[in-house]
Chain A
């Protein structure tokens, strides 16, 4: 029995590990953090494999996001830590240079609080709707909208060039 479980689990990780690692990386923002986040989620999946084997990938993703939000909860009780070096501001850049904007945005994403980043990743990496994102995070759609809005406000603060792409429009609660 144990060999069957090990075999199924190993096959699952070989097949889906890279995809899950990409999500974990986007959540954690670093290779080390991503591997730790994913290892933890996979270990939990293995420990209860007989019960989740048909639903393993959604299970692992839920753990990834849940752990990420947990970290946010833990950090919400701490003083804000200032960033030693601010990202380069893009106000004077040529907006036609999309790759520059993407680069700045990518760096700014790393500075978002974990929960806000988690919401953006669910919405824009996994292409989930607001309702699906709320279900995955165990919160209400209004919270997803407000977190998205806060994330955007922070990104605009860090990358002013983002503002120049569009007319500002708040995400409704």
Chain B
């Protein structure tokens, strides 16, 4: 960047900052909010008694003890889906007290949770399958597992740690996992979490695997030269949960920082020891285990120009997909979130809408949803 450009940029940034007007009562208002925050922490630190009361009050509410992702996440559809000739069947909207029972989704799936990302944290939700209701949490991120009784929680004031929230007791076990980026990804069986670790010094990636049952945590460095990944990089699980995948940058392609980096394929690793296992010529970023079709022949990826459906064996693009995080619920059915309508939509591979299910208004466009087979 030239000195003139830098100078113009510096001046513009300062101009922008200079637009700020004095805020009256800044200290007083911050004091009040700070006291409220501190009170909440103290109350919550009292812990078990309040938690017990919350259990009785239902829906279960686990507030953060000190200071909220998952298997599949949803994005706005690009508008490729078209209504079927008879129009999609509309499932009844969820009741106001929707947290008291599992929210069934089209295709025989269920909403397992929703996460806020950012602060102030909005309520996060995780399905407690044993009780058949949703637990809420106030952590900045709450990543519900596809199965099991634990959700992963992230507290922005506990850097390098990941919390395992027991949905039955509300207790959080904090595990030191190091500096991870992006979001934790649950294995399809809900027993393990894959984290993408990045060294601030070298920029090298490592695969972090946390086993929930034992809280055992292991990190496996990845050979960054052999398995090059630039732009957005994150480990995701295969549909059978036996491997994790990392998207691979095409080293021969021209890279532009204003465009997603071209991919040459996806490299898989063994979650038990980090060993590289196989490579697939899938030129895009899979979002999670549900991105892969049950028969293993197709995958939905985020391509350079949007969500696309790709043939696994050859990497050939079959066509556009409704969303980068659309989930395969069957070999010929995809489920995705229509963010504008705040509905879940079941489509066939021709893009025909089959069923729509309204989502609770509490799950606004800023929340990230997790879904799984019922």
Contacts and interface: CB of A to CB of B under 8 A. Distances in A.
Interface of A: 6, 9-10, 13-14, 17-18, 21-26, 29, 31, 34-35, 38-40, 42-47, 49, 66-67, 70-71, 73-74, 77-79, 98, 101-103, 105-106, 108-110, 120-121, 124-125, 134-135, 138-142, 146-147, 149-150, 152-155, 157, 162, 165-167, 169-171, 173
A13 B26 contact: yes
Contact of B1 (A45, A108, A171): A171
Q: Is the interface of B mostly helix, strand, loop or mixed?
A: loop
B30 A140 contact: no
Interface centre among A23, A102, A135, A149 (most CB of B within 10 A): A102
Interface stretch (B31-39, B125-133, B237-245): B31-39
B23 A35 contact: yes
A105 B200 contact: no
22 contacts: A9-B31, A10-B27, A13-B27, A17-B26, A21-B22, A21-B26, A22-B18, A42-B30, A43-B33, A44-B37, A46-B35, A47-B34, A70-B156, A106-B12, A106-B15, A142-B203, A149-B257, A153-B257, A153-B258, A166-B5, A167-B2, A170-B257
A46 B30 contact: yes
A74 B10 contact: no
A17 to B, nearest CB: 5
A146 B255 CA distance: 11
B374 interface: no
A166 B2 contact: yes
A19 to B, nearest CB: 9
Given A6-B31, A47-B41, A165 B4 contact: yes
Given A70-B119, A102-B15, A141 B203 contact: yes
Interface string B11-51: 11111111111110011011101111110010000000000
A134 B200 contact: yes
A25 B18 CA distance: 8
A165 B2 contact: yes
B275 to A, nearest CB: 25
A66 B158 CA distance: 12
Interface residues of B, number: 64
A169 to B, nearest CB: 6
Contacts of B199: 140
B159 interface: yes
Given A22-B18, A165-B4, A40 B120 contact: yes
B125 to A, nearest CB: 16
A105 B31 contact: no
B368 interface: yes
A110 B41 CA distance: 35
B89 interface: no
Contact of B27 (A17, A106, A153): A17
A125 B22 CA distance: 18
Contacts of B18: 22
Contacts of A162: 5, 8
A146 B117 contact: no
B76 interface: yes
Q: Is the interface of A mostly helix, strand, loop or mixed?
A: helix
Contacts of B80: none
B264 interface: no
Given A34-B20, A70-B140, A105 B26 contact: no
A35 B21 CA distance: 10
A6 B35 CA distance: 10
Interface string B142-162: 000000000000001101000
Given A105-B9, A146-B257, A66 B156 contact: yes
A158 to B, nearest CB: 12
A169 B1 contact: yes
A21 B20 contact: yes
B111 to A, nearest CB: 16
B110 interface: no
A173 B159 CA distance: 26
A124 B118 contact: no
B225 interface: no
B53 interface: no
Contacts of B277: none
Given A18-B22, A134-B200, A166-B5, A9 B17 contact: no
A147 B230 CA distance: 12
Given A13-B26, A125-B13, A150-B257, 10 more contacts: A9-B31, A21-B23, A24-B20, A34-B23, A38-B23, A43-B36, A43-B37, A46-B30, A67-B156, A153-B257
Contacts of B181: 139
A120 to B, nearest CB: 6
B339 interface: yes
A17 B31 CA distance: 13
A22 B27 contact: no
B179 interface: yes
Given A6-B31, A106-B16, A139-B181, A165 B8 contact: yes
B33 A166 contact: no
